[in-house]
Structure 1
Amino acid sequence: MVKAEDDMYLLPRNLQETHRLDFQHYLLRQLFKGLIVAPIDSSPLSILDVGCGTGRWPQEVAVHYPSTQVIGLDLDQSLQQRLPGIGHNYTFMQGNILNGLPFPDKSFDYVHQRLLVAGLPARQWPLVIRELVRVTRVSGWVELVEAGNAFIQIGPLTQQFLSWWIALSRTRGIDATIVERLGPLLQQAGIKQVKTLTFDLPIGAQGQGEQRRLGDLLARDMLAGFPNLKGPCHQVLNVPEREFDHVMQGLAQEWERFHSRYRFYVTYGQR
């Protein structure tokens, strides 16, 4: 069972959130044209996924690399859903990276961490990066996939929601702008060949072809996740529930009117 003081995650841990995270996984897999962006070795011996959530990403990696031992680590097992036919090369472990990773130095050929900025206090990121690097073998790769506060071409409703999100985050010591500085943090921890890629996606069914499909997926993801912050916004920030509902109801139309976009970050490097 996760202790409240260990869990900084602002969103619920339930079946609805499990479905949303899996939906988000499909979006990112399509956006990145695969599961891994870093140019890792074609036959890694071991892979670690920190903050694995539902376990969808590491299990799909385990299927793709059947001879590779893949470990998914997370605070809580409640979101885990084992895929049909998954082999013995995937293992879930419960743990909190803020307490240190439960692995010896240089244990993995590739270490992956995705979308944890909303669950890690900003002051802890240097520690987190050092732990990820510590368990990576020499010549192995570390990859961080994140999404911060980078909304582009937004209207007043999105700006209002973003201000609530930033205020809520601050109450827990979270600063999503850290995603823009992950490259230097990796370099300070001894990682070489550091590269940061950004992916700007339309929010909603804008444009044509794949961009339109991905934008529609992104809007659905946001509209499934954002309403879960209604309670915290009301309880912590004293936001009237009617005002929150008004903002939620107008977001989709506003994104299309302003041609809004959202940015994902992928930062990777080699030890």
Structure 2
Amino acid sequence: MGSGQSSMQVRLHKKPKMTQLELQREYQRNLSEQRLAVHLSARHALENNTAFAQPHDFTQIPGINGHAPSVIASTANNESFYQHRSTTIHSISGTSRTGCQNFRWIDGRRHHNMEEAVYVLPNDIDEMDRLHLQHYVVRHAFGGNTRAKFDAKIHKDVLDVGCGPGTWILEMSTEHTETNFTGIDISAVWPTEIRPRNCRFHVVNAIKGLPFEDNTFDFVYQRFMIMGYPAKDWPFIIQELVRVTKPGGIIELTEIPIVSNANGPELSKMMEILEQACHGKGLDTKVAKKLDGMLRKAGVEGVQACHASIPVGAWGAKVGQLMRENSAGIWSSLRGWIKELTSMNDAQYDAMIKRVFVEYETHKCYINCYCAWGVKPHPTEQHSTAPASPAPSSQLPTPPPPSQSTPPVGGDAGELLRHAAVI
């Protein structure tokens, strides 16, 4: 890893005038080296509507029968890598953290080591790769990196809460070079060597409050924290997001529910186990559908909401295949937790997941991704009833919301994700 970083640094010095695309590819390679190229290929396949080969034999579906997901390579146990990274990571207070303080191992996967945090997914390389892939699919679903209108002339300071490996914030900071971007997460899993100069990261546990002054950011973005915040803490979190947003600034939230749609009997069993486990940790598995209401309750004006339906499985063409890869990564990440809850052994767990992947195809399973956004009012507008809403970045179709029993129709990638509807 060290020699690879050195060579990348040398190339940067030799090419001081790198294009944005070249810089983006450099820091993405720094995130997970060669394996991220597969994600980029998948992303280009989505954008260019070109072929993206995936296995159709159920016995070879990634993540079942003991196979590691084809994109999520089996490198999570590289402890020496994390020990090396820990010497380069610093929290917002400026104090360094050692590897033994930062993480613990569960069923061969690396996790954060903060007892007060409820987040159950790993924070290792495999999980970061899954998050990269999920980012590209969700970005395609909503037609861009934000649903609210992002204006670089106005939005000069941006906060990404729960940034993970930084895929969203790195893309945004590369595209909008005159805007300052700040990413925070409970685990330092972002690139430490190669990243845009207008991008910085801090280790922060948002449940304890955001370490920023009031009215600091013009745009505050948060997504995929449904398994990170207990239900009781969501109102406080939303208030914190509003507090650090400047009057007239935008808050945007995106979440995917724990439970998918059009599930078969085996998938329904697994979802029931997962829901009960989440409830046991105090999580709200349906918070994705409440985002707009929480924003309004926090005083946000002009709140808008939408959702996009994303197929899971080869039946959904390229998008469905990529979402199946994402699902393989999720089940791999949840393996240790679910085995502990159910007393399954490895063989039983693999057999169950194999049946789940078959049902993705036979039942045409899909998930809904929800997004809500709005504007923090100016002090004089706190008691005004007139909404002040930003225009959406790209107008989604506005038919009546589809029935939960009606999955999106498979087909071309450009059509698969046009089943979004304003709620």
What TM bracket, shorter-length normalisation? over 0.9
Tell me, yes or no, if the aligned pair for 1:55 and 1:82 is still in contact at 8 Å: no
1:117 to 226, 238, 254: 226
AA aligned opposite 2:336: G
Q: Which position in structure 2 is the counterpart of 1:57?
A: 168
Asked whether 1:81 is paired with 2:191, we answer yes
Post-superposition shift, 1:123? Answer: 0.7
Q: Which position in structure 1 is the counterpart of 2:209?
A: 100
The Cα offsets for residues 27-85 of structure 1, whole Å up to 9 and x where unpaired, read as 112222211111233421100000000011111111111000100001111x212584x
Higher strand share: 1
1:67 to 154, 163, 178: 178
Unpaired segments ≥5 residues, structure 2: 1-101, 103-111, 377-423
1:236 to 305, 322, 341: 341
AA aligned opposite 1:170: H
Higher relative contact order (CA 8 A, sep 6+): 1
The Cα offsets for residues 131-164 of structure 1, whole Å up to 9 and x where unpaired, read as 0011111111101110013422110111011011
Q: Which position in structure 2 is the counterpart of 1:248?
A: 353
Asked whether 1:189 is paired with 2:298, we answer yes
Q: Distance in 1 between matches of 2:374 and 2:285?
A: 21
Asked whether 1:27 is paired with 2:137, we answer yes
Point out 4+ residue stretches in structure 1 off by more than 6 angstroms. Answer: none
Q: Distance in 2 between matches of 1:115 and 1:196?
A: 16
1:36 to 142, 146, 164: 146
Q: TM-score, normalised by structure 2?
A: 0.60
Unpaired segments ≥5 residues, structure 1: none
Q: Which position in structure 1 is the counterpart of 2:237?
A: 128
Computed over aligned residues only, the root mean square deviation of the Cα atoms, in angstroms, reads 1.6
Q: Distance in 1 between matches of 2:311 and 2:193?
A: 31
AA aligned opposite 2:156: L
2:272 to 142, 160, 163: 163
Post-superposition shift, 1:240? Answer: 4.7
Q: TM-score, normalised by structure 1?
A: 0.93
SS of equivalent to 1:201: strand
Q: Distance in 2 between matches of 1:141 and 1:153?
A: 34
Distance of aligned partners of 1:200 and 1:128 in 2 relative to their CA distance in 1, 3 Å threshold: same
SS of equivalent to 2:367: strand
AA aligned opposite 1:187: R
AA aligned opposite 2:174: V
Q: Which position in structure 1 is the counterpart of 2:56?
A: none
AA aligned opposite 1:87: P
Distance of aligned partners of 1:150 and 1:237 in 2 relative to their CA distance in 1, 3 Å threshold: closer
The Cα offsets for residues 74-106 of structure 1, whole Å up to 9 and x where unpaired, read as 1111x212584x322100011111111011111
Tell me, yes or no, if the aligned pair for 1:59 and 1:83 is still in contact at 8 Å: no
AA aligned opposite 1:91: R
Q: Distance in 1 between matches of 2:367 and 2:196?
A: 36
Asked whether 1:149 is paired with 2:258, we answer yes
AA aligned opposite 2:261: I
Number of residue pairs aligned between Structure 1 and Structure 2: 265
Q: Which position in structure 2 is the counterpart of 1:217?
A: 322
Q: Which position in structure 1 is the counterpart of 2:402?
A: none
Post-superposition shift, 1:191? Answer: 0.4
Q: Distance in 2 between matches of 1:251 and 1:15?
A: 25
Q: Distance in 1 between matches of 2:146 and 2:326?
A: 21
